[in-house]
Structure 1
């Protein structure tokens, strides 16, 4: 494993996680293709990122979600397709566009594995999620259903919490930098979550693409040292800055009350906090026979611990 080089197409390669997946694929020496959509020609930062990938050895393929044949032609060039298109409502929610990609993969018939855009909570476990946040999981499950009905081989990546969003902020809402005076804690702050450096998300993802152990399975990213409660995360930060923060504990009732007053897009994203921090949905189950855990499969990956991750913010 890992010896043979794979031809990989990344869709959404200029996005938050996509750009890291492109670089991780290049770093592993895979022949890496990145989908270039026509509309990016007018988005100078994204275009320049694509050109920087090209300098690093990636191939750019022009195609569009609205042009079926262009997608078929693109996927015919590769063994593995990884989709990292945005699933964040605050920005642009494009999960449904993958249905076009699945049709193209089915027609092309050559793709050995498809990794759809997931990289968060496992949607298969979120059937009871709150409205309106459950739309994220329903959209992802519709994509899974289409993949499985088309009989396409897959790996689903459950990456839990991106450190940039959830660790750097100590899981506060409305900021991505850690507070230095006071902090909000959800419930009693003791339920465990899982925080993963985005670079590690990309590394584990690329390791899994030609691994028979992850074929038609969900890969959970649960690096053991990063399974932390919100209180433990805050304690790491306090030790780094050498002071105690003033703590306010938010009851589930008052959290849900606050949620009602927000606009729809914010309700979608922030609703997920409830399941993570009040229900412990990332760690309250065992990975069964349909899953694998990344740090067990790939012990050679020296993942970033959160005490190290948070140092940059000091």
Structure 2
């Protein structure tokens, strides 16, 4: 069976760049949307040119030019949107809805993967404010997709290792603490952690897989379902150094939102649901979803003790 042609929207981003590389690595003819809004951003331009060097096609298109989006979509079979979370706030939600409109008009797309890659928004209807806006707006995109009868796959990638493992899940830093670590509650809530390259690999595997049509892919590989305390212990074992541990109660953690800006409050709310509620692992997947490592056992996903070695 011929491999699908893939268009990645948001390909210069944190996850998007990995999606492009995974698509190329798995043999797909890969297109990357090159938006004129890039302006004088040399870093993004260099990323785009590196994709071109490795065989990707750059195709111009703008969210302010509906026809350009339709023309770009018509060149492919699969569209993957990887715009960062900032696009799920305020009026920026309209960008992805414009993409949905273009896919609907083009009429040729056999699979659309919208920009999610985190917590499954369908399970977060009672999320705390103001962080619930993230999930409300993602569900708004889902509603538009399903009303347009666009074939889809949703990807729930849970916690990116770069943001949650290297720093032992500490807020305000991306590197491991040297002397002390803060634990959320007792630190024993189960969380799913993923290497970002593995997220991209699993994502691309779904696009030609009929088992994932109109379903959600949950990335919960069993050896990466760990507690925060276990992540800390793995780091202590690697460094042969015990960290001083402090616990933060749920009440005190939520109280820390006072005085924060909007983005900070959203982040704290999401942390709360992950590390206190256990929202990533406290449910059975069910018939509308599949677990990635069960579906694709051939993928040798990165374990978190291996990932942590990067930070030694």
Q: Find the counterpart in structure 2 of residue 68 from structure 1.
A: 66
Q: Find the counterpart in structure 1 of residue 128 from structure 2.
A: 130
Q: Find the counterpart in structure 1 of residue 85 from structure 2.
A: 87
Q: Find the counterpart in structure 1 of residue 169 from structure 2.
A: 171
CA distance in 2, matches of 1:141, 1:256: 25
Shift of 1:270: 2.0
Picking from 139, 142, 154, the partner of 1:141 is 139
Shift of 1:6: 1.1
Shift of 1:243: 1.1
CA distance in 2, matches of 1:22, 1:68: 23
Q: Find the counterpart in structure 1 of residue 245 from structure 2.
A: 247
TM-score, L = length of structure 2:
0.98
Q: Deviations over 1:50-85 (max 9, x none)?
A: 011000000001000111000000000000000000
Kept in 2: contact 1:89–1:269 (CA 8 A): no
Kept in 1: contact 2:69–2:99 (CA 8 A): yes
Shift of 1:113: 0.5
Q: Find the counterpart in structure 2 of residue 117 from structure 1.
A: 115
SS of residue matched to 1:48: helix
Shift of 1:101: 0.3
Shift of 1:261: 2.4
Q: Deviations over 1:210-234 (max 9, x none)?
A: 1001100000001110000000010
CA distance in 2, matches of 1:270, 1:141: 21
CA distance in 2, matches of 1:180, 1:25: 38
CA distance in 1, matches of 2:200, 2:258: 34
Moved more, 258-267 or 275-284: 258-267
Shift of 1:262: 1.1
Q: Find the counterpart in structure 2 of residue 214 from structure 1.
A: 212
Picking from 96, 99, 102, the partner of 2:97 is 99
Kept in 2: contact 1:130–1:271 (CA 8 A): yes
Q: Find the counterpart in structure 2 of residue 238 from structure 1.
A: 236
Q: Alpha carbons of 1:21 and 1:94: their partners in 2 closer, same or farther (altered >3 Å)?
A: farther
1:2-41 map, 5 Å: 4-41=2-39
Matched, 1:278 2:271: no
CA distance in 2, matches of 1:74, 1:290: 30
Shift of 1:290: 0.3
1:168-207 map, 5 Å: 168-207=166-205
Shift of 1:94: 4.0
CA distance in 2, matches of 1:201, 1:93: 28
Aligned length: 312
Unaligned segments of structure 2, at least 5 residues: none
Kept in 2: contact 1:191–1:230 (CA 8 A): yes
TM-score, L = length of structure 1:
0.97
Unaligned segments of structure 1, at least 5 residues: none
Kept in 2: contact 1:95–1:117 (CA 8 A): no
Moved more, 254-263 or 120-129: 254-263
Shift of 1:96: 3.5
Shift of 1:40: 1.1
CA distance in 1, matches of 2:260, 2:157: 26
CA distance in 2, matches of 1:223, 1:103: 34
Kept in 1: contact 2:89–2:133 (CA 8 A): no
CA distance in 1, matches of 2:96, 2:86: 15
Please give the root-mean-square deviation of Cα atoms over the aligned residues, in Å: 1.4
CA distance in 1, matches of 2:91, 2:13: 12
Kept in 1: contact 2:87–2:95 (CA 8 A): no
CA distance in 2, matches of 1:133, 1:37: 29
Kept in 2: contact 1:259–1:267 (CA 8 A): yes
Moved more, 227-236 or 34-43: 34-43
